[in-house]
Structure 1
Amino acid sequence: MKKPRLLQGRHGLALFIFPLLLLGALAWWQLQPDAPGEAPAAGPAAVMLAELQASSDAWKASRGDLSRLMSDLRNGAIASAAVGTDAVYVTTASDQRYWVPDQAGRVAALLLEHYAGSNGELFPLTLFQTDAEKPLYKMLLPYSPIALLLLAGAIYFGLKTRSFQVQRKGSGITFADVIGAAEAKQALRDVTAYLRDPTAYARLGARPPKGVLLTGEPGTGKTQLAKALASESNASFIQVTGSDFSSMYFGVGIQKVKSLFRTARKQAPCIIFIDEIDGIGKRAEQQRSSDAESNRIINQFLAEMDGFDGASGVLVLGATNFPNSLDPALVREGRFDRSIAVGLPGLEDREALFRLYAGKISAAPGLDLAQLARNTVGLTPAAIAYIVNHAALLAARAGATQVEMSHVVDAVETCRIGEQPSGVTPMSPADRKRIAVHEAGHALVAAELKVGRVEKVTILPRGQALGVTLVTPVEDKRLHMESELRNRIQMLLAGRCAEQLYFHEVSSGAGQDLQEASKIALSMVGALGMGPKGSLLSLQAVRDAHLESDPREALEAADELLQQLNRDCMALLLRLRPALDHVTERLLETETVPGEDVLAAIAELPAAHHHGVSPLHAPGAHGLERVAASGYENPADALFELVAGEAQQEQEPQGPGMA
């Protein structure tokens, strides 16, 4: 069982033992015999008081009432008496002992009144265990559970709001250790100069940035850039996450924000790195108590970033994959002055990354790092690190002494299309034929329309897919033409069209393909102005304007676009029918067909079926120039590097034989 968070760390044992020691001390005090009070010099009263302090059982054995006490008072039969907080103890002249309950104090008042007004000989009268004589710890003992709860709450609250850990000697990572992200590193050099010499900016009247926001896909190296910035700037470094400020206790998150900035000011120059800063969220209408607490945390962030001077040497560095999830007031100018996009590594950067990680394993001398870099377009540095490590695991599994090129290629395929499962139930001949037709359709349309480089086609299960067509991008691209998006949709629909062409019905294996094709079609119609009706209205702009809109028109336009491209794809497959037959037969024979065989099957078509295919291995096959940035969001939630057919594991009804 996992140890509670409060008890983790080197102080956990002390925090656990301290309340136990406190309870033990209180119990020891409770069990100690009462200290004898200062008794009278001599006489019956002193003797009675000493006996009562030792034990009051002799008096408690006989309970008297008010009438007996008054009778003994009138007859002068009382030898001595003692008044307690809740009882009156009496010893008679005949050595009888009894007690009279006195919760309200009226019996004691009556006794004292009679005692003061008596004209005869007075009997000895003393006080026993009154509030004035009770030890202080016994008065506080009934409240000890509440005190312990308050003490535990104070300790817990102090731990939750303790100062954040500061790294003062740098992280040991420099900009030279971060491969790629050249644009981001160049933008951070101004920040480095400011943190090294804040007074130089102050002398010129320049206001240095208070905050810098790093955006980009997961695994592009945003955290590494933050650590390198701390080392290059020779500044203290505090690393937190956006979720660190959330707490189930009211007010704890605000105190954490205050403690964070207070610690940073003391350690200036200091970098506050907030990873996954979108965890702080946006302010919202206070419909729930959690919304109110979240709003207060964001408001405290705004106040803290406005509260420190730009020349104080404190910089807030945030990293997120979802910049649109941040509150607009948090990322405005004057708080986060700069937004730096961390992009994917280019060809040379990927080769350098493979060289870096290959140097950390026992790699064979013949690794073609340039070829690996060309085959991993669109992958992040984290993905490349995973590929090299997985290649080493594959080599160890095979009992090899070195990591060969084949191991790395298998690792690249695993990263793109998933692990090859073991112990899969063999499929029926009808299912194998259907999967082969489906994957052959994907591969031929991808090659004919030059969607990318067809690496391989297989009907062996990979990951959740029953068959896979691996298509990799030819070059790094940030701008996608309408024709490219239409070709990609046709590639996605090709498996379904091939099934319909051969078996006159479709299967559930095309479900994932339809989902991805629908994403691209909706993006083209609702965001990029590429619909069949020529509408230029952006649905995102409608949502941002908080206007009500009917999505039926956009859905109908997207469906019309899909229907049109489905007809084009079917016509293309009819023209490529001989090649489709050939690739399908090869898949049924060998289960895996390389991309070169797919290109050869298309090239062998007669002129009536095919008008010529250009090789796809040279970058820039489309004659498109690369641009530095796109003016709109990349639609490629739907643009991916592989087509996984037959995502469903259930068997389909057996169709008629292949034509």
Structure 2
Amino acid sequence: MKPPRNSPRSRSRIGRYVIFGLIVAVLAATVALLHWRHGQRAAQTAAEPALTGVASQMRTDASSWTHREKDASEILRDIHERNIAALGLSRNAILVSTQAGEKYYVADRDAAFSNALLLGEIKADGNSSYQIVWLPDAAVHIGMARWADVFDKTRDTLSLLLPLLMIGGLLWFMRREMRGGATLLEKSPALGFVDVIGAGEAKAALADVKAYLSEPAQFVEMGVRAPCGVLMTGGPGVGKTRLAQALAGECGASFISITGSYFSAKYYGVGIQKVKHLFELARRNAPTVIFIDEADGLGKRTDTGGGPAEAESNRIVNQLLAEMDGFESNEGVIVVAATNHPENIDDALRRPGRFDRTVQVRLPDLDDRASILRFYAAKLTAKSNDIDFNQLARLTTGLSPATLSMIVNQAGLVTRKAGDKVVSGEHFIEAIKIARIGDVNGAERALSEEELTRIAVHEAGHGLVAALLGTGVLEEVTILPRGGALGVALITKMQDKHLYRETEIRNEIQVLLGGRNAELLIFNEASSGAAQDLQEASRISLDMVSKYGFNADGDLFSLAALPQQYAGLQLKGAIEHANVLLKDLNDACYALLRANRPVLRAIADQLLESETVPGQTVYRLIKEHAAAASASAARLAQEPEAA
């Protein structure tokens, strides 16, 4: 089918014809100039007197005379003895052909010697025994001058070809830049929505796109407009790219995958041509899904006058806006974009008609994490009966699918390092610790006995407070240094939480303060090991009084409502309220540890003995202490009655 006369494809073809015609015209003009110069030279030669014999040969081809050089005295002697058949005079040599057929030359710089030969005139009754030939254009080269002629010819040729090569190369580079890397996938991905675990909201949004690309007639009959674009947001590794691949695999449409940096170019104006080429390619192969990964690379339009680079970025965004919702029909073209920073995308791109739907791709919940771990673990040689995937899912709260995939692979590396052949649950737990905290770094070898004792008391305080307040499931307490931590109390949640009550947040702060208060209780002074705990507790308490309304004075105003330049002025009062809250929680935490001091001592002693104490042991010690305290209280209550 012949494209419309004014279509972009037709205009592009006309532009190529014009450029090709210009190149042909330049080449034709060059050839004509060379022919004209050759004709002028031939006409000049034809106007000179006709030469015969060796004189004619001397003018047309002087190479036979340039192999032998003689002194000027030799030519004078041959002239005196009338032994000359022909003389050829050029700007830098005199060619001599003798009566005996000998050929040689005499170097004559600037024709000084030949001018001297021509000073005398032949008498009227005399006849010259030889011909004198003026050779202004004869190629007489002696010594290194022979290479100068080759150089001159090469230079002249390059002077003609180099501009053409530069123009052609520039056009080729610009054409390649305009096309960029936007190409159709030759084969659709072998993925479907069933291969993506979780992300229910994103799947529902993309299902509408799939339905439109698969059966557009249904939308037309109902008068429903299909979404023009879908913007997927979410943290790194949550599966945005995998969802786009699943969409391409589901609907069987053409698929173009690019990144936000695709539109940047080294030549001014090429970025706009890339946008046009991208949508022309998509329209020709509709139905098409254009997937733009890291779409925040497009940036926002600004008016700060930042120079040509900023102006070019603005023009690229403007062209993309026009292509997505302009006069051109985008029927059958869907744009799916993914970004970790939606705030960096221009607001005009996010309005309906461009990106009609913004979908938050969330982290997997407890059940989804268990399913993802099972999916990746199926590729390993593992003891399925020995692995509690529900426990592993609790240990991986807040981790993305990409991180879960890395943990499964890390479990295999841990297995190989341990010399085992089959991956077990212990290997998975160790892999999770490496991912969340860090690998064992061996720093305990540099710690003194007093430091190890203090670390054991500190971590025992964290674990004991967490177990007493029920802030989660205490998995284990260890004094083995991991990453940047000298010890760890590993606490997991039974289920993912999105809302926290005030009591739950207060308990979390007490767990953070548990290590420092345990040191105060046992050693009567704290150490610098609680610095990170205090920082996190301070951040949470400041949020409680300045954002969540958990203020003892009943102050409900949120500092988050103020602009940044004004919020700082109000921080002083919020910090004072947060400090009061921290002191109250610190006193409550200290009283809780003092009431369970024997348990704290028992946990610390076991840590010094075995370096790691399971959570079940801590819960057992708490129950034993509670039973002993109840028995002691009952005994004390009976003693007054007996008395």
Of the three residues 21, 42, 45, the one matched with 2:51 is 42
Cα offset for 1:532? 5.3
Cα offset for 1:508? 3.2
Q: Distance in 1 between matches of 2:66 and 2:349?
A: 73
Q: Distance in 1 between matches of 2:336 and 2:212?
A: 14
Matches within 5 A, 1:49-64: 49-50=59-60
Structure 2 residue 493 is the aligned partner of structure 1 residue 483: no
Of the three residues 439, 450, 460, the one matched with 2:470 is 450
Q: Hey, what does 2:228 align to over in structure 1? A: 210
Q: Distance in 2 between matches of 1:52 and 1:482?
A: 108
Do 1:417 and 1:463's aligned partners in 2 also have CA atoms closer than 8 Å? yes
Of the three residues 137, 156, 160, the one matched with 1:128 is 137
1:298-320 Cα distance to aligned partner (Å, 9 max, x none): 22322221237565211111112
Q: Hey, what does 1:582 align to over in structure 2? A: 602
Cα offset for 1:530? 3.9
Q: Distance in 1 between matches of 2:138 and 2:276?
A: 51
Instruction: Return closer, same or farther for 1:585/1:92 CA change in 2, 3 Å cut-off.
Output: closer
Instruction: Return closer, same or farther for 1:535/1:58 CA change in 2, 3 Å cut-off.
Output: farther
Do 2:545 and 2:577's aligned partners in 1 also have CA atoms closer than 8 Å? no
Structure 2 residue 611 is the aligned partner of structure 1 residue 591: yes
More helix by share: 2
Q: Distance in 1 between matches of 2:227 and 2:153?
A: 59
Instruction: Return closer, same or farther for 1:557/1:600 CA change in 2, 3 Å cut-off.
Output: farther
Residue type at the aligned position of 2:286: A
Instruction: Return closer, same or farther for 1:584/1:55 CA change in 2, 3 Å cut-off.
Output: farther
RMSD over aligned Cα atoms: 4.0
- SS of residue paired to 2:224: coil
Of the three residues 581, 584, 587, the one matched with 1:564 is 581
Do 2:324 and 2:330's aligned partners in 1 also have CA atoms closer than 8 Å? no
Cα offset for 1:267? 1.9
Residue type at the aligned position of 1:440: A
Residue type at the aligned position of 1:467: G
1:583-629 Cα distance to aligned partner (Å, 9 max, x none): 2222222221122233334444559999xxxxxxxxxxxxxxxxxxx
Q: Hey, what does 2:347 align to over in structure 1? A: 328
Do 2:560 and 2:567's aligned partners in 1 also have CA atoms closer than 8 Å? no
Q: Distance in 2 between matches of 1:504 and 1:294?
A: 62
Q: Hey, what does 1:637 align to over in structure 2? A: none
Of the three residues 403, 423, 443, the one matched with 2:423 is 403
- SS of residue paired to 1:438: helix
1:549-572 Cα distance to aligned partner (Å, 9 max, x none): 151422551453145224422432
Q: Hey, what does 1:29 align to over in structure 2? A: none
Matches within 5 A, 1:495-644: 495-531=515-551, 534-543=554-563, 548-554=565-571, 556-558=573-575, 560-577=577-594, 578=597, 579-605=599-625
Do 1:214 and 1:319's aligned partners in 2 also have CA atoms closer than 8 Å? yes
Q: Distance in 1 between matches of 2:89 and 2:553?
A: 109
1:116-175 Cα distance to aligned partner (Å, 9 max, x none): xxxxx9986676289xxx999753424666665655555444444435231143100001
Of the three residues 368, 371, 384, the one matched with 2:391 is 371
Of the three residues 187, 190, 199, the one matched with 1:181 is 199
Structure having the higher Rg: 2
- Structure 1 stretch displaced more, 88-97 or 445-454: 88-97
Cα offset for 1:233? 1.2
Q: Hey, what does 2:434 align to over in structure 1? A: 414
1:236-292 Cα distance to aligned partner (Å, 9 max, x none): 111122233334544443333333222222221111111121222222323254433
Q: Distance in 1 between matches of 2:329 and 2:513?
A: 56
Do 1:522 and 1:555's aligned partners in 2 also have CA atoms closer than 8 Å? no
Structure 2 residue 259 is the aligned partner of structure 1 residue 241: yes
Residue type at the aligned position of 1:326: I
Cα offset for 1:333? 1.5
Cα offset for 1:412? 2.4
Of the three residues 340, 358, 364, the one matched with 1:345 is 364
- SS of residue paired to 1:576: helix
The two structures have a TM-score, normalised by structure 2, of: 0.72
- SS of residue paired to 2:334: strand
Do 2:461 and 2:514's aligned partners in 1 also have CA atoms closer than 8 Å? yes
Cα offset for 1:422? 4.5
| Higher RCO (C-alpha under 8 Å, 6+ residues apart) | 1
Cα offset for 1:209? 1.1
Aligned length: 535
The two structures have a TM-score, normalised by structure 1, of: 0.71
Q: Distance in 2 between matches of 1:341 and 1:223?
A: 13
Cα offset for 1:53? 7.3
- SS of residue paired to 2:423: coil
Cα offset for 1:466? 0.9
Cα offset for 1:337? 0.4
Q: Distance in 2 between matches of 1:330 and 1:42?
A: 84
Structure 2 residue 297 is the aligned partner of structure 1 residue 279: yes
Cα offset for 1:477? 1.6
Q: Distance in 2 between matches of 1:158 and 1:274?
A: 22
Cα offset for 1:187? 2.3
Residue type at the aligned position of 2:271: G
Residue type at the aligned position of 2:223: G
Q: Distance in 2 between matches of 1:148 and 1:563?
A: 78
Q: Hey, what does 1:354 align to over in structure 2? A: 373
Do 1:461 and 1:467's aligned partners in 2 also have CA atoms closer than 8 Å? yes
Of the three residues 258, 264, 289, the one matched with 2:276 is 258
Structure 2 residue 422 is the aligned partner of structure 1 residue 427: no
Structure 1: state its 5+ residue gaps. 1-34, 63-77, 102-120, 611-659
Do 1:438 and 1:494's aligned partners in 2 also have CA atoms closer than 8 Å? yes
Structure 2: state its 5+ residue gaps. 1-37, 73-85, 99-104, 112-127, 140-150, 631-643
1:7-49 Cα distance to aligned partner (Å, 9 max, x none): xxxxxxxxxxxxxxxxxxxxxxxxxxxx999676634874553
Q: Hey, what does 1:172 align to over in structure 2? A: 190
